[in-house]
Amino acid sequence: MSCVKNLLKRLFLLFCILLLCQGCIVQKLDDTPFRKTAYFHKTQEQINQFSVSNTVGDTLQVGWAKVNITPPVGTPLAGYGKRRGMRYAAVHDSAWVRTFAFDNGTNKAYFVSLDMLIAPMSVAAELERQYAKSGIKPEQVYLSATHTHTSFGGWGKKMAGRIMAGKYDKKLVTQTAQHIIKSIEQARADLRPAKIGYGSANGAAFVRNRLTGTQAERDTTIRFLKFARPDGSRAILCTFSAHPTILPSMQPVLSGDYPGILVQELETVYDFAAFSAGAVGSHSSVYNEGSFESVAEVGQSIASTIVEEALNVQTAYTSSLLSSRVPLYLPDPQWRVGEDKKLSPALFYTFFGRYDTYINRLQIGNTILLGVPADFSGELVPALEAQAHQQNSNLMLTGFNGSYMGYVIPDKHYQLKKYEARAMNFYGPYSGSYMSYILSLILDKSLP
């Protein structure tokens, strides 16, 4: 009888421990409207301190350069957790860093596009350690990525990063950062006065909304900047909202997906081209099948669309340039379990890591580029673009700027039982409206 009592006591104690642990691990979702939070007011205060009075200098000079960053065969691929760190056995097309340098005598800035899934946090941290050697300030560098899901990994330190990008390789991270610095230095050495023009094209045939399936809720615009120098050299910087996920997830081949073909095609007409993923959150490519033939078809078609529209774009000299970095404060992560519960922030940070988040702002003439640390939904772009147009300016939004906060989608989709709304929505029911409002405030401060 005493043995039974002891067993019951142990079972009761175990039950109490499990109940206590559940209370620590699983918590109630926080649905406090963002305008009532401390993180919102801290971010707003940072934005209010910005000034645009020092944008003007001499005639803007522009330079460009690209450096091959392809690691050896046998490096892990990045982009899909189900690969479990699968290493690629062949290189279909190389990975590059493509960089624009800008200088108006008063300000300097660098736009960097990586043929990678994201601009990884580990690479961004290594860059911060190396910038000073080249006389570069962190706020001068605007990081972005093509968001191809078939480029190299090896850069994720935490468990989530290793699942998505394979085993961490410190040497690879250091070398990638060094290649980026080299591209910046080469672009800076190539600086010459240049005329600039903004253009856009209709990309509706190439993008679909995979979250809702509707035709109306899409960002269908291909946006680009055209550069022309007196010696006849020309360049294109373009963005688009379609996810580069055409190629099969389990194919062990490194490739830039459609952005790789896109820039190759543009460089048959222009001396230099770069592409960065736009608001790809919830948006996918339209293609016939998961093959290199489809990749080529999509990339070539988008390139042809840009080339045709660029013929009508007028360029002009400008003396306006400004770059800055806006700290973005966030609530505690709300990684959901069920409808109204979340896993504890401590567990989230253990799995994903904890990183400072920020928004990059690059102002070239009357075009404003905003870089966000997210898969930002294309559904949220039209309102921001309309605001920019009201200010007689153009907006180009890119993601994956050296930090990451998951998917940012419209609040109305928060309860959808979809990947973007559940597994990858890290910061609660108001992340879409919060980010949209913050970006709107930055736009308000971006032109005098």
pLDDT of 277: 98
Token duo for residue 188? 């800076």
- Helical segments of 142-250, H only: 159-165, 170-189
pLDDT band at 341 (very low <50, low <70, confident <90, very high): confident
Which CA distances in Å does 344 have to 6, 38, 87?
33, 19, 33
Model pLDDT for residues 97-132, shown as the tens digit of each residue = 999 999 999 999 999 999 999 999 999 999 999 999
3-state DSSP assignment of residue 184: helix
Find where tokens 């294309």 sit.
378
Query: Which is more confident, 275 or 215?
Result: 275
Note the pLDDT tens digit of each residue in 412-424: 999 999 989 988 9
Is 299:246 a contact under the CB 8 Å cutoff? no
Residue with tokens 């929505």: 425
Q: Letter for the amino acid at 146?
A: T
- Local confidence band at 339 (pLDDT 50, 70, 90 cut-offs): confident
What is the model's pLDDT at position 340? 84
Q: What is the pTM of this model?
A: 0.93
What does the pLDDT average to over 310-323?
96
Contact yes or no for 228/234 (Cβ under 8 A):
yes
What is residue 53's predicted lDDT score, i.e. its pLDDT? Answer: 64
Q: Pick from 202, 276, 284, 301: which is nearest to 247 by CA?
A: 284
**Mean pLDDT score, 26-43:** 93
Predicted confidence at residue 214, as pLDDT, reads 84
**Average pLDDT, rounded, for the chain:** 92
What are 45-65's pLDDT values in tens digits?
999 887 766 788 899 999 999
Q: Which tens digit of pLDDT belongs to each residue from 362-377?
A: 999 999 999 999 999 9
CB under 8 Å to 1, separation ≥6 — which residues? Answer: none
Check residue 387 and give its pLDDT: 96
Question: Rounded to the nearest 5°, which phi and psi values hold at 151?
Answer: -100, -175
Residue 400 phi, psi (nearest 5) = 60, 60
pLDDT at residue 158 tops 70: yes
pLDDT tens per residue, range 390-443: 999 999 999 999 999 999 999 999 999 998 998 899 999 999 999 999 999 999
pLDDT at 313 over 70: yes
- What's the angle, vertex CA 411, arms to CA 410 and CA 417, rounded to 5? 90
pLDDT top residue among 446 and 269: 269
CA dihedral angle for residue 406, residue 412, residue 418, residue 421, rounded to 10 degrees: 20
Quick check: 305 and 264 in contact, CB under 8 A? no
Rg of the chain taking only CA atoms, in angstroms: 23
Report residue 20's pLDDT band, with 50, 70 and 90 as the boundaries: very low
* Contact (CB, 8 A) for 84 and 48: no
Query: Do strands 394-398 and 253-254 pair parallel, antiparallel, or not at all (unpaired)?
Result: unpaired
* Cα angle 150-154-158, degrees, rounded to a multiple of 5: 115
Q: Is pLDDT above 70 for 202?
A: yes
User: What is the CB neighbour count within 10 angstroms for residue 333?
Assistant: 21
> What is the percentage of the chain residues whose pLDDT exceeds 70?
94
Please give the Cα distance from 43 to 41 (Å, whole number).
5
User: Which contacts (CB < 8 Å, 24+ apart) does range 265-270 have?
Assistant: 265/299, 265/300, 265/303, 265/304, 266/236, 266/238, 266/303, 266/306, 266/307, 269/307, 270/234, 270/235, 270/236
